[in-house]
Structure 1
Amino acid sequence: MSAPPTWDQYMAPALTVLSDGEVHRARDICNAAADLLEVSAEERLQTIPSGQLRYQNRSLWALSYLARAGAAERPVRGQYRITDAGRQLLASHPDGITEKNLRAFVGDPDASHTYYALKALEGTTHDANGAGTTPEKTAELDPIEQIDLGIERIHATVAGDLLSRLHAGDPAFFEQAVLDLIMAMGYGGAEGTATRTQLSNDGGIDGIVDQDALGLSRIYVQAKRYALDASIGRPEIQAFVGALHGNQANQGVFITTARFSKGARDYADSVPTRVVLIDGTRLAALMIRYGVGVQVKQTVQIVEVDEDFFE
C-alpha cells in the first residue's frame, strides 16, 4: 500500500482546482485535490492525533503555504483564489510542486514580507553551511528535535499571519495591540496602566505606560504600521527621540511591523535616552510568547518512564 500524499504534493492539485479563477471554499479545494491525487476512501478516514482528518490537514497546510508565497489569495476567511503568480508556478511545475520549488518561487526574503513564507517552509534549524532543514535531514533528528522544529515552523506561520493582520488593521487597533503586549510582558506592574494618546494630536507619542499607580515611572511608546518590507531609517528614530525630550522622558519603545536600518539602530544605541527598537520579527515573536493575539490550539505532553516508581 502506497503512502498517503504529503502536504507539498497537495499544492499542484490545489492550484489546478483554483485555475478556473473562481473563489473556492477551503474544504471544497481539499476534497477536489484529494480526488486528483486519487486518495482512497480508507485514507480519507485516517486522522492525526488531534482528531483532524490527515488528508484535510495536509491539504490545508498546502493552501496556507501557497497563500503565504503569493500563489493564492484569501478574499475572505476560509476561501481561496489563484493569483497570476500561482498560474506561473503551476505552469512551471505541472507534474508537482515540491517544498524546494516553493522556496525558490518565494525569492529574496529581504525584498518583501515573504520572509515568513521562507521561514515557515525552512524552519529555523540550519546546518553548518547555513542550509535549511530538509525532509531528508529531518529524518535524522530525534523525536524531540522534530517536535521542536515543527513548533518553530508553526510559529513562523502564525508570526506571518499576525503581522499581516496588524498591518491590515487601522492605526488605533495596532497601537492598542502594542500597549496590550507591553502590559502582558509585565510592564505596568500590578497597579500600572497603559494609555493610548489621541491620534490627531499625539506629539509623536502613541501610548504611555505608567509602571506604578502614581505614574512616577513611565514608558513612552511609538507604534507604526509600516509596510512589511519597509526599512525605517535614522530620521524616524531622531524624531521619536525629539518627542521623548519634549515630554521630559528618558526611555521609550519604538515598535513597528517593518524593520530598522543599521543607521537607525546605531543612532538608537548612541543617544543617552534609552530607546528600544522592536521590529516586525521580534514583535510577532513577543506576541506569540506572551499570548497576545494568539490562543493555544493544542497542548502536547511528552512522557518518560518514572524511574522512582520502578525502584
Structure 2
Amino acid sequence: MVSYKELKIGKHHIPTWDGMASVVLETAAKKTEWHGIDLLQTAVNSIGLPKNLYDQSYPKYPDGRIIDDRAGWAISELTTAGLLMRPRRATYTITDLGRQVFAKYGYKLDGKIIHAQAAYQMHTQELKERNQTTEVSNVSDNPAEEELSKSSFIKEINEQSTKYNNEVATDLLQRIRESEPNFFENLVVKLLVAMGYQGNDGTSWTTQLTNDGGIDGVINQDPLGTSTVYVQAKRYKEGNVVQRPEIDAFYGALHRASADRGVFITTSKYSQGAIEAAKSDSIITIDGIRLTNLMLKYQVGVQVKHHFDLFEIDEDFFDADI
C-alpha cells in the first residue's frame, strides 16, 4: 500500500478525502465484501500515519479523528459515484467500474474524476431538481454580509434545513435503487399505509414475486375490501425511464382486477407519454424524487436527527391580568 506522504495532503497535514479515495478502492478490491467500519479502518491503517496525525481531531469536535472523517467521506462519495456499492446494510463492495477507474488512475484519482462519473452527475442533477422544487435559494455563506432580521434568520434556518434534508432524500433514493425488488415493494406499501390509505380497519400486503398479474401491492381501505388501492412498484436505475407501455400494462392489470384505483411508483422518472396515459387512466404516478420526499414527510426509512425550537413572546400572557 502507499504511504500517506504520497497522497494528496490537506489541512492538518492529513490526506484529504479524495486523497483517501484511491486507498479505499484498493482496499475494497482485496475482498468480496467489507463491513463499512472494517473497510474504513483497514484503509486508514494501511497508509502509515504517525500517531500524532492518526489521533488528531478537529478542534471543535475532539471526539472524532480527522482521518476517519475523511476516509468515511471518501467511502460515501465513491458510493454515490457508483465506484462502490452497498449490497446490504453497512456492507460495501467494489464495482466493476470502481476497478476500472482505479486501474486507470491509481493514486492520481481525485475529486474531479469521482464527481465526473455518470452516477454522481445524476445524483447532482436530482439534488438540483429537489432544491428547485422546494424553492431553496442560494443562502449567503457569509452572514456578515447582511444584518439578519428575525424573519430572515428563520428563513435561513428553514432553507438550510431543507438543503440538508434534500441531500438525505437523494442519498435515500440511491439506497432504494440498490435494494432488492421485494424490499422496494414492501417499502411502497408501508409508505402508503403511513400516509393513511389503509384506514383504521383496513389491510395491506404485497403480492408474490412471480405470477402477480402486474400488481405488486394491495391496500384494502376497509374491512370488507370494498375500497381497494392497487400498487405497481418499479425499482429502476436513474436513467431507465418508465414508458407508456408499462402504464398500459398496469391499466390492464387493474381492469382484470375490476379496480378503479391504481398507484404506480418508480425510483426513476416517467416519459411524457407515460404521464399522459396515467392521467387518462386515472393512475397516480410517483417518481423517485416525490417518493423520497414523501418518505421524509411521513418518516418511512428515516428518523429525526435533531429538533429545534424557536420561541417568540406570548403577547397574550403579558396582556392578561395576573
Q: TM-score, normalised by structure 1?
A: 0.72
Q: Which residue of 1 aligns with 2:284?
A: 276
The residue type paired with residue 87 of structure 1 is F
Cα 1:147/1:233, change in 2 over 3 Å: closer
Q: 1:246: Cα distance to partner?
A: 2.1
CA distance in 2, matches of 1:295, 1:210: 27
In the alignment, does 2:303 pair up with 1:291? no
Q: Which residue of 2 aligns with 1:174?
A: 184
Partner deviation per Cα, 1:50-70 (whole Å, 9 max, x = no partner): x65454234312211112202
- Conserved in 2, the CA contact under 8 Å of 1:22 and 1:81? no
Mind listing any 5+ residue stretches in structure 2 that lack a counterpart?
A: 1-9, 144-152
- Conserved in 2, the CA contact under 8 Å of 1:75 and 1:81? no
CA distance in 2, matches of 1:154, 1:4: 29
Cα 1:308/1:236, change in 2 over 3 Å: closer
Q: 1:251: Cα distance to partner?
A: 1.6
- Conserved in 1, the CA contact under 8 Å of 2:24 and 2:40? no
- Bigger mean CA deviation after superposition, 256-265 or 199-208: 199-208
**Secondary structure of the residue that 2:262 maps to in structure 1?**
strand
Cα 1:205/1:41, change in 2 over 3 Å: closer
Partner deviation per Cα, 1:126-173 (whole Å, 9 max, x = no partner): 7xxxxx97xxx76247762444423322332222112222xxx143x3
Partner deviation per Cα, 1:262-284 (whole Å, 9 max, x = no partner): 1111111223xx20112233223
Q: 1:187: Cα distance to partner?
A: 0.4
Q: Which residue of 2 aligns with 1:158?
A: 172
Cα 1:226/1:41, change in 2 over 3 Å: closer
Cα 1:125/1:216, change in 2 over 3 Å: closer
**Secondary structure of the residue that 2:264 maps to in structure 1?**
strand
CA distance in 1, matches of 2:241, 2:181: 20
The residue type paired with residue 160 of structure 1 is Q
- Bigger mean CA deviation after superposition, 36-45 or 156-165: 36-45
Q: 1:16: Cα distance to partner?
A: 3.2
Q: 1:308: Cα distance to partner?
A: 5.7
- Conserved in 1, the CA contact under 8 Å of 2:263 and 2:286? yes
**Secondary structure of the residue that 2:75 maps to in structure 1?**
helix
In the alignment, does 2:79 pair up with 1:67? yes
1:29-108 equivalences under 5 Å are 29=42, 31-32=44-45, 40=53, 43-44=56-57, 46=59, 48=61, 52-74=64-86, 77-79=90-92, 81=94, 83-87=98-102, 90-91=105-106, 94=108, 97-98=110-111, 100-103=112-115, 105-107=116-118
CA distance in 1, matches of 2:24, 2:228: 55
Q: For 1:15, which of 19, 22, 28 is the aligned residue?
A: 22
**Secondary structure of the residue that 2:299 maps to in structure 1?**
coil
Kindly name which structure, 1 or 2, has the bigger radius of gyration based on alpha carbons: 2
Q: For 1:139, which of 138, 141, 148 is the aligned residue?
A: 141
**Secondary structure of the residue that 1:231 maps to in structure 2?**
coil
Mind listing any 5+ residue stretches in structure 1 that lack a counterpart?
A: 127-131
Q: For 1:245, which of 225, 243, 255 is the aligned residue?
A: 255
Q: TM-score, normalised by structure 2?
A: 0.70
Alignment coverage as a number of residue pairs: 284
CA distance in 2, matches of 1:254, 1:176: 14
Q: 1:245: Cα distance to partner?
A: 1.9
Q: Which residue of 2 aligns with 1:129?
A: none
The residue type paired with residue 86 of structure 1 is V
